[in-house]
Structure 1
Amino acid sequence: MKRKITSLLLLLLLHMAAIACAVCERNQPRVLKGITHGAGPNSRWDYLIVWTAVVIVLATLFLSIKWLIRPGEQSGNHIKRSILNNP
């Protein structure tokens, strides 16, 4: 029980630290209000960089899950066969 209460308090404290303060919220653009601390993006290039990174991460995630589920190597002399068939 003590461990659950400690975990709950820790999560609440971490959540409070993640919420932006009033000054930061006022200085952020409308999209980021209440989410982040500090100065917001300085130009449209910042948004372009972030969205490019998001696209790369999502594509990488999609392809890694796809190839993890269905790898597609069918040839009998693929390198994985030397490991799997080794007695």
Structure 2
Amino acid sequence: MQYLVIAYDNDNALERRLESRAAHVEGTRKLMSDGKIINAAALVEDDVMVGSTLLVDFDTDEEIDEWLENEPYVKNNVWNMDEFQIVPIKLLPKN
């Protein structure tokens, strides 16, 4: 199932975000090559990263849970999980 993920950062999380960024990008790129993450972007306000948005395609809730358990921005308290959103979507097919 396809989802839009919207994840705003916790207050004062920029330093933790930057420390975790390389691991986050590496994991995201792997999941992109596996077809689980369709696309990802940083949310930016006043030229500062303040969150993330991702288009994902996971078959089960368990896959989503596994991703989040291993996601560096979750593990390092970057994303504010109280405001974390996972919204079911249906992307327009490429063809």
Compute the TM-score of the two structures, normalised by the length of structure 2. 0.23
Compute the TM-score of the two structures, normalised by the length of structure 1. 0.25
Larger strand share, 1 or 2: 2
Structure with more contact order per residue of length (Cα contacts < 8 Å, sep ≥ 6): 2
